[in-house]
Structure 1
Amino acid sequence: MADQQLSLAETLVDPRLGTNARLDAIGKVIDWAPLEKLAEQVHAGRLGRKPYRASAMIRALYLQMLYGLSDPGLEEALTDRLSFRRFCGLGLDEATPDETTICRFRLTAARKGVMQACFEEVNRQLDARGLIVRSGTLMDATLLAAASRKPDIKQGAGAGLEREPGASWTRKNGKSHFGYRLHVATDQGFNLIRAVVLTPAHVGESLVAETLIQGDEKAVYADKGYEHKGRRARLKARGCKDRICHRSHKHQKALPYWQTQRNKLIAKRRAVVEQVFGTARRVFGYARARSTSFAVNLADIFRLATVFNLRRVAGLPAT
């Protein structure tokens, strides 16, 4: 809980009330002060009534992602659940931010890049503790449905939506998808997320690979979608092990036996990164984008990555 003096009401209740082992573990993983300092940017230059403390609001946004809550749902939970109030440092005698306040803070934080800065700060702290392992980087991507319904197919397969310009079409396994592609890089040790990129769905994995490769790893693991001769050459030139799967080409009926076996070995190592997508869907309820704004969706992805890492380091199960 954020440092603050207990109210009279809190001194009279059983200290066990509102305890939550999961939130207690997450709260102790990092030093929250730098994140709370970054969150103060949201209120910079604000006029009018005194805003809620940035420290409480930034923690509330992580609770929202952790439990898959809407803005009204978060308001209700902060009013109803003592463990949420304790995590955010809200005293029993303090008012609770309403859904409008939460929405405005969330949107402003997205516009100012606060969630990305917080993600980078968390990773800096985890790295300082030796928790980010550089033995290898695992890369993968998944499709994320748009917040809006798919455009009418009668408008053409490439038709977009004016209200959600960041989303686009792609095809996978013979089916059309409209939305985004989430690209992720994790470390080979604790499977912590080191980099995330959000693109329109039509942007393929290989185009984003150089952004995901950190440059300090000893190996890069990826499926055949990341294969590129130039990339293999660059990895070899800097002494980084190339663990990118091979794929067949138009003049090649099938992969040689050694490449097939190599792909199987790589797939076993690389598969761990898929826990990110499983956790996002099953634990966080993040199966589709929640906004028509690309900037807001990107901020959500950084929130998701931050909470995923905090859960991992706190020793909470991935599923």
Structure 2
Amino acid sequence: MMKHLLSFFAALIVFTQPAAAQDLEGTWAMQIDEAAIFVFSLEQDEDGSWRGSWLRPGRFQGNGVVFSQFRGSERVVTTDGEMDGDVLVMRFAPTRAEGSTDVLHFRSTGEYQAEMTYTGTDLDPYPLVRVAAGTALGPFSDDRIYDRDNAATQADYDPADELAASLSGSDPAEAEPDVSEATDAAAEEPVAEEREGISDDFLDGLEDGALATTGLEVAKLETAPRLARACADIDRTNLPAPEDLGQLWGDEFESIGSGLEIREYQMDNGDIARVTLLGDSIYLNSCGPAS
């Protein structure tokens, strides 16, 4: 009975808020295989402006589609935010002096469902589900690869649970990790190789910047004759199987992955294609002018 009453009062609170706040205000996570990869807290102020934070791993390997080897955590806060139609535009401050601002677009897609688009890339929107305030990252396993194709699209969320926590006087933020301590601890860990493909500003440079090679020797396989190559050879909506990639572009490429098999092919016109191989699938990270 108490839980039904809490659900009723929670519904009343939501009903009295503006439509935009009903849709997007609160805490959201991208969850893959029951692990929270990113957690966003979005809040609308009385003047209609928006602010928020982004809880994310301090370091990981991946290409924006697949993720692995998570270390530490960091919280990034917004510099500003505003609604543009039904899209919430949020700008997150860079975490390095030479870094760039991350601009993310949030849009409600259903009850307790939303999507986040990372602007400046050709990545598909990331599905988000509503979660309770104070949701932490993880739990992660080092021997797993987390594929965004497995991201949760149905939320296991009950507003009554959040209301009950607030009525009991508990602070949901206490459940969140100490970001500074986690990040410092990660920095002190002896890590053999830095993460590949993702900068401190999440996907900064993924599309038009060089992927970090982390000091690995570049493995170049020689073959002759060399096949003609062009970005137009690959249909992004119907990507070839890994075994067909060699027939398409040959066996001459640079292997720049560490933990993930990431290949870099040079096109005949000088463009660079970066491809990640994972099991029976491939992911085209980018294909365009070399930076």
Q: TM-score range by the shorter chain?
A: under 0.3
Give the strand-richer structure, 1 or 2: 2
Using CA pairs under 8 Å that are at least 6 residues apart, name the structure with larger relative contact order, 1 or 2: 1
Give the helix-richer structure, 1 or 2: 1
